[in-house]
Structure 1
Amino acid sequence: MAESLPPPYHLYDNATYEFCLVLPPKVNSAGIWENATNPSMIFSYSLPFLELQVVMIFLVNHLVYTILRPIGITLFASQMFELAIQATFRQPNEPQQVKMERLIGTLIEALTSFSVIACLLAELKILNTELGRLALSSAAVGDLSTLFLVRIITLSRPFISSPLLVLVRGVITCCFLALLFFVFRPLMYWVIKRTPNGGPVAEVYITATMMAAVGCAVVTHWTDRSPLIGAFLFGLAVPDGPPLGSALIDKFECFTNGLFLSVYVTSSTMRIRLQKWLSDPSHIKFSTIFSTATFFATLIPCCIGSFLNLMPFRDALAFGLIMSSKGIVQLSHICTFRDNKIISQKAFTTMIFCILANATIIPLLVRFLYDPNSRKYASYEQRNLMHLKPDVELKVLVCVHTLDNVPAMIYLLDLTCPTKESPNVVYVLHLIELKGRNSPVFIAHHNQETSTAASSFFENIIPFYEYEGNNSDLVTVNGFTTITPPKFMHDDICTMALDKQTSFIILPFHRKWSIDGSLEEENNVVRNLNCNILDQAPCSIGILIDRGRIQKSMKPSSSLSFSTGMLFLGGKDDREALTLAKRMARDPRVKLTVIYLIAYQDCDNVVYWDTELDTEMLKDVKQNSGKNGCEIMYVEEVSNCGAQTIKLIRSIANNYDLMIVGRCYRVDSILLTGLSEWSEFPELGVVGDLFASTDLDSRVYVLVVQQQQRININRH
């Protein structure tokens, strides 16, 4: 910081001036009280001024996004809207406009980016839909084309003046790519092998990886290319997913997306010169016509190609709009072209406004044309256990998050009594949270899988194939893995249940108990997933509560006996649960007790249709008890209020290995008076919530059943 400043002087004056500087220069001030008479003195230091700029960008960005988000504007478009507030209007001298601008504009409008489309689909919440997967596959091809063409264009101008320099840069680029994928990538796989299974990556490896990314950016900058390209190519070399990719995401995603991305978008759009651009109406007119023509040149072929391949018109139009979307990648290309003086200031301003209009309008149109919430996973068929014929195979979809879920799931499947006349077809779906990559992954496993890339996700599937081998001709297992964001996992589950025509989905409860029966952890992500599936599933559902009774080392055995209880209060969910219990009772190892809980006095004298159905089903249980090798005991218990119901549940909880209950009942039932207000987990129903409570001193294994929800769909 200069201690004294001389009078104004000319740069090329022959006079001599003396300066007194503090070296190294002081970037931070001594505080707001350093100069009380001149408070703005604090902004003469670089660090406070930088902090003020960052805070202003951050606050304005989130303020604009908060205002525009309710009408469907994306975060990227909101960040670009800041230019209307923060852009400066200086008019420096412009370089001569180059003839390649039209080609650049056509390239930017015509080509797509995988990252941009993945972010758009995620923000529109259609990443896992059929349309979203098609768009991602198409964008991957477009992304490769974009990288190739952009590289050719950026090298074309230097090639005219110095072909040898371009050749040298090309050789350096090839060597750089070879270094990335034949040296750095194997080193990162070595780091992954040294990381314990499920353990964190060592901090030294995280630091080394980030330093390598910065080094790659510096290398590309030395070759007169944008540093973003070097960092981007290094990102392609990093193995996706856990442990390394997900560790990098956890540490840096919030900081980079929340701060650096906002600063980059805002600072890039602030480079426009709006007054200069508005002063040339002829240029505006030509740019508008040209941009519109190139936009439709991309939109129309995508729509026609999709429509000719039997895609509905609205979906084809939405697909074309998605493939025509622009975002941060196109913005970075434009800034690179401007930095290299390939395009003029007017062309730069025009392209910025085109990206802004594109990022604003396209999400709104796609939301209007393609609404996944209106396309419920409904089925016109009865896909539940009650309507399953005795001699038809039982198709079950089992969802697994971790290896801890596997033993309890296999035990439940083993109790469903598969026979040659009615075998079990089990679809196992291993659910993994998407981290360290943009696009979701769906993997179909095969038995004896050992050397494929998917084998790393095979650990949780292997026990189910072993279960299949122990029950040959009775059980068929098909294993799958889906890697997707948690908020979209229910789409994969419901889609698979619909495609495979399953009758029952088994979900693990979000609470985990230790072997001694104490509560170990809760996972709210799993809980939200279960709630979404309960609302949208196309078949019946069971939520499995394992209180630590089943251990990993235990295996199903034909010599074991299982005591199963079914608490029946009435309603369609209880009838579905009783149907499953009756199927289990066909197994000679299973001893079933059906406990019918009766209210001492009804709150009214109305006879409900559900009551008639309950009576008929219980009559069938009493009449067929002991027949066909089924050992079923029927018991009736009386309760006058919710307190007596709780007392009954506590008295029977330790009498059984497995307890089966329905989820929903009549809300005005005397049996449950006052209990719904204290329910902690509404997704389990009142009775299921009591069995999942930490106040219950029991290790019983509980299955909460919900019958298929029928959804009325209007056909047009």
Structure 2
Amino acid sequence: MDQAKRLLCTHDLWNPFNTTFVQTCGMLLVSQIFHVILKPFGQPGPVAQILAGLVLGPSLLCKIDRIRQIFIQPAFEDYSFLLLFVFRILFMFTIGLEADLPYICRNFQRIGVIAAWNVAVCAAFGAAASFFVINVLKVTAHRLAFANVIMIIVASVASPVVVRLVAELKFDTAEPGRLAISAALFMELFCITWYSTYLAFSSGKMFGFALVCIVGTGIVAYANRYLANWCNKRRRHMKFVPSTEMSGILLLVILLSFMIEKLGFNSMISCFLVGVAFPKEGKTTRTLLHRLTYAVNNFILPIYFGFNGFRFDVNYLINVRNCIVVALLILLSMGGKIIGTLCACHYLNIPRNEAVVLAFILNLKGHGELLVIEAFSRSDGQTWWDDNTHKLVIIIVVINTLIAGPVVSFILKRDRKYFAHKLTFLEFLDPENELRFLACVYESRHITSKLGLIATMTGSQRSPTVPYLVHLVELQKRHRRKKKLMYHELQDGDQFSDDDEYGGNDIIEINDAVDAFTTDSKILVHQSKAVSWFPKVYEDVCSTAEDLRVSIVFLTFHKHQRLDGKLENDKDGVRIVNQKVMRHAPCSVGIFVDRGLTGFQLPSPELVQNVAMLFFGGPDDREALACCKRIAVHPYVNLTIIRFQSEGQPKNQQVHDRNGEEEEQHISISSHEVDMAIDNVFMEDFCNRYVTSGKVKYMEKKTESGEETVEILKEIGEMYSLFIVGKGGRGNSPMTTGMSDWEECPELGAVGDILASAELNLGASILVIQQHRNATEGHEDNEHPVLDDDD
């Protein structure tokens, strides 16, 4: 770390430090202005931040002598290098923490094929162009190393830029976005490994240093795991661990990185691997993600991108020779990524629209190329090429990102419907495909049943699931008033607070329950929190469901069970939230009626749960049956499908020709008959897959009226701990005739309302599911208007 040594030995520490601070503040301010201007046009944050650096850099404002004297000090390069080095450590460690390892493992072949095709094609293009570039730039020393640099520049991709861009475009939960992030990680790690291997085998000394780096990475990864578990046990009944303990963990990572850089290698892979090996559950990980994610997204990456733009010097493009080299490498990089991605996607049967988006996302560059050229140039203590080459690499990086970012944003904005979330219900979702669902809780007493539901839905490794849990916190009037106050209007001792202070002890209890559940079951639950006043809570739920691209949302019923077994109203406004979510949700919705200790519990070898699905017919019941496909494979759940059927079947209407000359018979099929046919096919497929194999029990009940249905429900009421039923959508079925006459909660449907009523007095929990309906489709929910706050 020569830069660090020079900083410690300099006689004037303050002026360069002050300059770096002023530059940082200026970049954040100007980038925010650009972001506000460009956001309506769909441009992502990295583009605005690079443009901010361009404005403040030697391309524009630094052409003025007074500004250049302030912004560019003698030791500025050393300060910026050290600052960016620490930033690089933090965001690579954060990316490792957030890496979706289950998704990468399931799609390893697809990700590997995309990354391999891109690297192979780009490396071939770079190798072919290296002869021309070497001659044009008149490189005389270490031509083989320079050829390797050219191939890496063309083939590389900056994973932090990809992660940030995809996240800002709300594309990180879409399949193409997740593929792009994973492929970018593969490609970047491969390029860094490529040049690290080249350095390691350049001499016996460097090979020994490489082994030291590998051993050091393993030691720090193991030490951090031990420290994380120690902090989790030491800080019980706390949401976060103190900053001192978090700083100690980060200090180990920073010291490891300094050692690796001092030995002549790049520390990016080590930081990433330490983050990947870090435990994903517990307070320590929650604290690191909470603190680092905010810092990385709002300060570290904007400053990092801004400094890249600041180092861009348009004066180097005045030379025709430099322009030719820059244009050639940019075209080869884009062309190689497009050809490689299209070939890989054709092999993997990925649509061309998604392939084009993948190609431009994988063309984003940021820092890997600069690190490689710096590492190659200082590996033997001397500079292999002049500063002109380094500046050209910076120009290539900036222009590539400025082109690729807007193109990706334009394509996603133009084809918004194509890239929109399509898996909005479960009926046609293959049980072996990934299921994303969202569970909502208001208080700590809701968490036990929701965790049991999450465990039940995550019944088998062959049926991958991604569970999300959102804690909905009501924003009280005093908090709303406090947020509107100016600083001088606050009372003594009062202060502004963020969302972390809302929720009280419920937050700690919910986090403790989730941590214990994750530790025991190894099911990673992604937690979040939404703080809002109740008339707006449904908007938070719907927007979260849309951003996360979940297929179903599980809500909490507005009543809870008392000790005497009766249901009592919960917080005011919960029922209104449920009704509005069922009306506006971008996916299917389930309402869970928790019966406490007498109802559904977390399945375990000691507590096997008996679950019954009541099938009357219709889209909602089919959605409930599709949900049962996930539950059926759980080893500690006994699932029974009870199908209710009516003796009378509707007859086809016959229409005859009025003249009688050519008597033709037309069969008009009602929508109810179509639904019945779909029900039969869906049920037959379910039985062939689960009932015949013995995983699920099946029985039929004959009924002719709502009264008979109620009597059957009373007979089987005490046999199960959970009843699953569709909300409605069955039309005028004789099996439920008259059941809605005493309906108290229309959001539960006729059958769900009877099951939750005091008349049956069941001890079982109830899950009522409504299949997602498009906004243009009319359905029976319109008959029940949403209650206002005054009702």
In which range does the TM-score fall when normalised by the shorter chain? Answer: 0.5 to 0.7
Q: Report if aligned partners of 1:512, 1:546 keep a CA contact under 8 Å in 2.
A: no
What is residue 626 of structure 1 aligned with on the other side?
A: 708
**2:356 counterpart of 1:312:** no
**What is residue 53 of structure 1 aligned with on the other side?**
23
Check the 8 A contact 2:164/2:297 in 1, yes or no.
no
TM-score of the two chains, using structure 2 as the length reference: 0.51
- Cα distance in structure 2, aligned partners of 1:558 and 1:103: 60
- Show the 5 A alignment for 1:491-506: 493-494=550-551
**1:617-649 C-alpha deviation (Å, 9 max, x unpaired):** 9xx98757438974689658999xx9xxxxxx9
| Aligned counterpart, 1:68 | 38
Please tell me whether residue 250 in structure 1 is matched to residue 290 in structure 2: yes
User: Helix, strand or coil: the match of 1:288?
Assistant: helix
Partner of 1:210: 250
The answer for the alignment partner of 2:554 in structure 1 is: 508
Q: How far apart, CA to CA, are the structure 2 residues paired with 1:236 and 1:669?
A: 46
Aligned-pair CA distance for 1:199 = 5.2
| Cα 1:107/1:653, change in 2 over 3 Å | same
Q: Which residue of 1 aligns with 2:133?
A: none
Q: 2:400 aligns with which of 338, 344, 358?
A: 358
Q: In the TM superposition, what is the alpha-carbon distance from 1:59 to its structure 2 partner?
A: 0.8
In structure 2, how many angstroms separate the alpha carbons of the residues matched to 1:289 and 1:149?
23
Task: State yes or no: 1:404 paired with 2:449.
Answer: yes
CA offsets 1:430-470 (integer angstroms, 9 cap, x no match): 61479xxxxxxxxxxxxxxxxxxx99748579xxxxxxxxx
Look up the match of 1:439. Answer: none
Amino acid at match of 1:293: L
Distance 1:322 1:637 in 2: 53
* 3-state SS of 1:508 partner: strand
Q: Secondary structure at the match of 1:544?
A: strand
Would you say the 8 A contact 2:47–2:405 is kept in 1? no
Which of 272, 280, 292 is the matching residue for 2:319? 280
1:509 aligned partner, one-letter code: L
Closer, same or farther: CA 668–410 of 1 in aligned 2, 3 Å = closer
* Equivalence for 2:418: 374
Q: What residue is the counterpart of 1:77 in the other structure?
A: 47
Contact residue 87 and residue 269 of structure 1 kept, 8 A? yes
Instruction: Map residues 233-244 of structure 1 onto 2, 5 A cutoff.
Output: 234-244=274-284
SS for the counterpart of 2:592 is strand
Asked if structure 2 preserves the Cα contact closer than 8 Å seen for 1:81 and 1:356, the reply is: no
What is the rounded CA distance, in whole Å, between the counterparts of 1:613 and 1:379 in structure 2?
Answer: 25
- AA at the equivalent of 2:339: I
Q: 1:170 aligns with which of 195, 205, 210?
A: 210
- CA distances 1:284-335 after superposition (whole Å, capped 9, x unpaired): 1233123312432343133123214433333333333333332344455556
The amino acid of 2:355's aligned partner reads: A
Gaps of 5+ in 2: 1-10, 78-136, 440-446, 471-514, 529-542, 563-567, 627-638, 645-669, 677-701, 714-734, 746-752
Between 1:285-294 and 1:513-522, the stretch displaced more is 513-522
Instruction: Please report how far the alpha carbon of residue 250 of structure 1 lies from its aligned counterpart in structure 2 after TM superposition.
Output: 0.7
Displacement, 1:532? 11
- 8 Å Cα contact 1:586-1:628 kept in structure 2: no
Partner of 1:473: none
Q: In the aligned structure 1, how far is the partner of 2:438 from the partner of 2:180?
A: 28
Contact in 1 for aligned 2:169/2:409 (Cα 8 Å):
yes
2:192 paired residue number: 147
2:388 to 332, 346, 351: 346
Offset, 1:62 = 1.1
- 2: CA distance, partners of 1:318 / 1:404: 41
Give me the TM-score of the superposition, normalised by structure 1.
0.55
- Counterpart AA for 2:400: N
Contact 2:159–2:185, Cα closer than 8 Å, also in 1? yes
Tell me the distance in 1 between the aligned counterparts of 2:392 and 2:243.
45
CA distance in 1 between partners of 2:212 and 2:610 (Å) = 69
Do the aligned residues in 2 keep the contact of 1:321 with 1:362 (CA within 8 Å)?
A: yes
Residue 112 of structure 1 aligns with an amino acid whose one-letter code is: V
**Contact kept in structure 2, 1:325 and 1:359, CA below 8 Å:** yes
Query: CA contact under 8 A between 2:424 and 2:586: conserved in structure 1?
Result: no
- Partner Cα distance (1:196, 1:291) in 2: 53
Q: Deviation at 1:341? A: 4.3
Q: Offset of 1:85 from its aligned partner?
A: 0.7
- Structure 1 stretch displaced more, 314-323 or 74-83: 314-323
User: How far apart are residue 255 of structure 1 and its match?
Assistant: 2.2
Deviation per residue, 1:504-545 (Å, 9 max, x gap): x6x42157877655758999xx999967994245xxx43335
- Residues 513 and 263 from structure 1, CA distance in 2 versus in 1: closer, same or farther, beyond 3 angstroms? farther
What SS is found at the alignment partner of 2:365? coil
SS in 1 for 2:350: coil
Q: 1:405 offset after TM fit, Å? A: 1.5
The 3 A distance-change label for structure 1 pair 116 and 334 is: farther
Q: Does 1:544 align with 2:603?
A: no
Residue 154 of structure 2 corresponds to residue 109 of structure 1: yes
* Closer/same/farther in 2, CA of residues 154 and 398 from structure 1, 3 Å limit: closer
Q: 1:540-584 deviations in whole A, cap 9, x for unaligned? A: x4333548686676999999999x9x9xxxxx999999999xxx9
Aligned-pair RMSD on alpha carbons?
6.5
Distance 2:703 2:278 in 1: 60
Asked if structure 1 preserves the Cα contact closer than 8 Å seen for 2:309 and 2:398, the reply is no
* Contact map agreement 2:176 2:358 (CA 8 A) in 1: yes
| Corresponding position: 1:127 with 2:175 | no
The SS at the match of 2:334 is: helix
Q: Which residue identity does 2:332 align to in structure 1? A: A
The alpha-carbon deviation at position 53 of structure 1 amounts to 3.3
Superposition pairs for residues 395-474 of structure 1, below 5 Å? Answer: 399=437, 401=439, 402-406=447-451, 429=465, 431-432=467-468, 457=518
Number of matched pairs: 531
Q: What residue identity is the alignment partner of 2:418?
A: S
Contact 2:224 2:249 in 1 (8 A): no
Does the CA-based 8 Å contact 1:192-1:243 persist in structure 2?
yes
What one-letter code is carried by the residue in structure 2 that aligns with 1:86?
Answer: L
SS in 2 for 1:143: helix
Tell me the distance in 2 between the aligned counterparts of 1:185 and 1:586.
45
Q: Percent identity at matched positions?
A: 13
Residue of structure 2 equivalent to 1:535: 586
User: Which has the larger helix fraction?
Assistant: 2
Q: How far is 1:369 from its partner? A: 5.1
Separation (CA, whole Å) in 1 of partners of 2:288 and 2:156: 29
Matched residue, 1:470: none
Residue 299 (structure 1) aligns with: 338
> Does the Cα contact within 8 Å between 1:400 and 1:429 map onto a contact in 2?
no
2:247 counterpart SS class: helix
CA distance in 1, matches of 2:557, 2:49: 40
Deviation track 1:660-698 (CA, whole Å, cap 9, x = no partner) reads 7989998999986xx64x546xxxxxxxxxxxx9x8xxx
Structure 1 279/249 Cα, relative in aligned 2: closer, same or farther at 3 Å? same
- Counterpart of 2:722 in structure 1 is none
CA distance in 2 between counterparts of 1:45 and 1:168 reads: 37
Distance across 1 between alignment mates of 2:401 and 2:21: 29
Check conservation: 2:257, 2:267, Cα contact below 8 A.
yes
